[in-house]
Structure 1
Amino acid sequence: MSDDDLRHEDNGKPNPVINAISNAVASLRADDDMLALAKAHESLHPKATEKLEVAEARRQPTAADAVNALLQQQGRSTRPEDLVPGVRTSEISVDGAAGALPATVYTPEGTGPLPVVLYFHGGGWVIADRKVYDGGARGLAKASGAIVVSVDYRQAPEHRFPAAWDDALAAYRWLGVNAASLGGDPSRLALAGESAGGNLAVATAIAARDAGLTPPRHVLSVYPVAQTSLNTESYIENAIAKPLNRAMVKWFVEHLVRSDDDLKDTRLQLIDAQLAGLPSVTLINARLDPLRSDGAKLEDALNTAGVPVERREYEGVAHEFFGAAAVLEKAREAQAFAGARLREAFTR
């Protein structure tokens, strides 16, 4: 029976045995609030992304949906304005490499001009958008006191590698010219992102350096993809973790790259890139995440290149935890840490 036959037969449902094992492992390793969030996500009956066609994968319940489900169970508001007061939003367009890109501007309270952070969402370069990652971007604006511009970029497989990277650099170039129109200080820029977006943040810092653009003051990279091997310690340890597992990453990469040669490109294989001369970097990792080792390897590579870097690894939480500060204590801690690192960089 072919893979396509298997997908059709189970309609994309998670393998019940693997699902049960994954849940049992999580019950031993995850914090109580992380477990509650995972159960809220499971109550939405997500299918196994790696078994789906792209269009259906994009319709699956997200981490943000799980947060809202848990908030509703707790009898709490799901309005972002209630969860993170003191941050106003507006919708704009940003110049990408091949046309306009939609973006959300998060502006915290404060006297301007404020520093500005360009933020890239996650989703394996295939699924999700800036709205799914509202919790991370909004929380970061509050914690850092900076304007956060969260931009959508072209996604695979419609736009394969390196379209997203080209858009990310174009958006940073646009921000350097237009920060003042947003109430921002064009001399105090930073880059940030989660997962696939964490990769884009670092790759864009490298590209900006090579293009002679105003260098960012800081790079915040949350559980980034930093290399292309699926055989690291954390990929093996968390092969069937939730919400991200090894098979899902393989699915993302297969939809992203044009050929195996792309896997050697230093925009994906960041740990082999020329990293010297980058600004200070903050890395945030979750213990229960296949990408944890990517963060550790990137930390080593940055140290070797003489780049100031600090990495924190949060026990008891999984991939996607950073944006769930409404319901996760470790997310609140991580956002506060990230905000403090950015504030420090902006005052240097």
Structure 2
Amino acid sequence: MTPILSQAGRDLDAAVREFIARTGADHARYAAGRTLSPAEAREVAEKVRAPWRAGGPKMRASDDRMIRTAQGPLRVRIHDPDPRPGKPVLVYIHGGGWILFSLETHDRVMREYAARAGVVVVGVDYDRSPEAKFPRALNQCVAAIEWVAAGGVGPAADPARIAVGGDSVGGNMSLAAAVKLRDEGRPDVISALLLNYGAFDVDLDPQDVARYGGDGYMLLAEEMPVYWNAYLARPEDAQNPLAVPARAELAGLPPVFLTIPECDVLAGQSHTLAARLRAEKVAAQAQVYAGASHSFLEAVSISDLAARALQDGARWLGETLSHTQAAAR
């Protein structure tokens, strides 16, 4: 029998609630009450997420490549949905608290965006924490973006039309990458940012914690300090805008789409970011999904709400990157 979550989760969409229940039950089964090392936690997470990456759109071509970076070799995964040359690119940075998840866990999400938006998706296999500390993973993501911008994907991709996006901590590093490139005098490398339920600040909104930070909503408030401590190399990094982009100046960034699940302990961070972006005259569209939780996009195989959110983001990508193409002519 699928376990029923606490009363706290009753405001969730039914399919999202099922997703949380099933992943929670599988995690309990595979973890078996053990205290897990990071490597063991990753192994369990891969097993738990395996059913959710299956199925979905088929690509014209999918392949992994090793690229050279200043941090050493880096694996990227390229999903090309159709034979058209010169398609826009979405560089996708997966979430997982910097500790968990992978190109495999997020493979379906990446293929969904590729098919729905008609873009080449390049997933980044960054090094995870606590073995890799800030700024290693961020620098790897920036290196992957630079590789795409230099024409590394080949004729299928238009290196002048690059969006960068991700979920949870992938949203953090997507925003931080744009800030870093802007501060280095290269604001035009990234044309759009797709930020799905991002972790932008070390501080949580107390109201979000009270309402959505406990059992039943996928991401627990008590998990976030664990993830931040794994990522940050030293306490003062919590003031570094490239580690904690809530501290960053936002003027001069590209257009932004924020996917905000209503029932997420991080939701307030996206709302705050959207307001700050607009105050700086950055085009920002924030879309709230009632009944959605953290990680809900991964439930697309059973959730119409997840499918709608993916389609909304894909539509926005298509419109925004087509404007970039028109402006370049």
Judging changes above 3 Å, is the alpha-carbon distance between structure 1 residues 48 and 248 closer, same or farther for their aligned structure 2 residues? farther
> Matched residues in 2 for 1:197 and 1:331: separation?
18
Change (3 A) 1:123 1:49: farther
Larger mean CA deviation between 115-124 and 255-264 belongs to 255-264
Correspondence for 1:240: 214
Does residue 14 of structure 2 align to residue 32 of structure 1? yes
Determine if contact 1:276/1:305 at 8 Å carries over to the other structure: yes
Letter of the aligned partner of 1:311 in structure 2? A
Q: Give TM-score, length-normalised by structure 1.
A: 0.84
- Give the structure 1 partner of residue 225 of structure 2: 250
Offset of residue 122 of structure 1: 0.4
C-alpha separation between the residues in 2 aligned to 1:86 and 1:258? 39
Q: Which moved more, 1:276-285 or 1:48-57?
A: 48-57
Structure 1 residue 60 corresponds to structure 2 residue 44: yes
Counterpart selection for 2:168 from 195, 209, 221 = 195
* Amino acid across the alignment from 2:77: T
* Structure 2 spans left out of the alignment, 5+ residues: 324-329
Answer yes or no: is the 8 Å Cα contact 1:34–1:328 preserved in 2. Answer: yes
**Which structure 2 residues correspond to residues 1-348 of structure 1 after superposition, within 5 A?**
23-26=6-9, 28-46=10-28, 47=31, 52-61=36-45, 64-65=49-50, 67=52, 78=54, 80=55, 83-179=56-152, 181=154, 183-213=156-186, 214-241=188-215, 242-348=217-323
In 2, distance between residues paired with 1:296 and 1:178? 35
Q: Distance in 2 between matches of 1:39 and 1:271?
A: 31
What amino acid is aligned across from residue 15 of structure 2 in structure 1? D
Contact 1:116–1:179 (8 Å) recurs in 2: no
Identity %: 25
Structure 1 runs not aligned, ≥5 long: 1-19, 69-77
C-alpha contact 1:113 1:180 (8 A) present in aligned 2: no
CA distance in 2, matches of 1:108, 1:337: 18
Q: Aligned residue for 2:327?
A: none
SS in structure 2 of the partner of residue 139 of structure 1: helix
Q: Secondary structure at the match of 1:316?
A: strand
CA deviation profile, 1:19-62 (whole Å, cap 9, x unmatched) = x9953321x11111112222222331435999643122212245
2:130–2:230 Cα contact (<8 Å) kept: yes
3-state DSSP of counterpart to 2:150: helix
1:88–1:107 contact (8 Å) kept in structure 2: yes
Q: 3-state SS of the aligned residue for 1:181? A: coil
Residue identity matched to 1:60 = V
- Relative distance call for 1:180 and 1:109 in structure 2 (3 A) is same
Task: State the partner residue of 1:6.
Answer: none
Deviations 1:226-272 (A, max 9, x none): 11113442133222144211111111112111222111111233222
State the distance in 1 between where 2:266 and 2:60 align: 30
2: distance between equivalents of 1:249 and 1:87? 38
Q: How many residues align?
A: 316
1:13 maps to which residue? none
- Partner amino acid, structure 1, of 2:259: I
Q: CA RMSD in A?
A: 2.2
**Alpha carbons of structure 1 residues 136 and 180: separation in structure 2 relative to 1, 3 Å:** closer
TM superposition score normalised by structure 2: 0.89
Counterpart contact for 2:60–2:83, Cα < 8 Å: no
CA separation in 1, counterparts of 2:52 and 2:25? Answer: 12
Task: Provide the secondary structure at the position in 1 that maps to 2:298.
Answer: coil
What secondary structure sits across from 1:170 in the alignment?
helix
Q: What is the identity, as a one-letter code, of the residue corresponding to 2:156?
A: G
Query: Does the 8 Å contact 1:96/1:166 carry over to 2?
Result: no
Q: How many angstroms apart in 2 are the aligned matches of 1:257 and 1:48?
A: 29
Three-state SS of the structure 2 residue aligned to 1:115 is strand
SS at match of 2:79: strand
- Aligned with 2:242: secondary structure? coil
For residue 219 of structure 1, report the CA deviation from its aligned partner.
Answer: 0.5
Q: Tell me: CA distance 1:159–1:246, structure 2 relative to 1, closer, same or farther (3 Å).
A: same
CA contact (8 A) 1:130 1:150 kept: yes
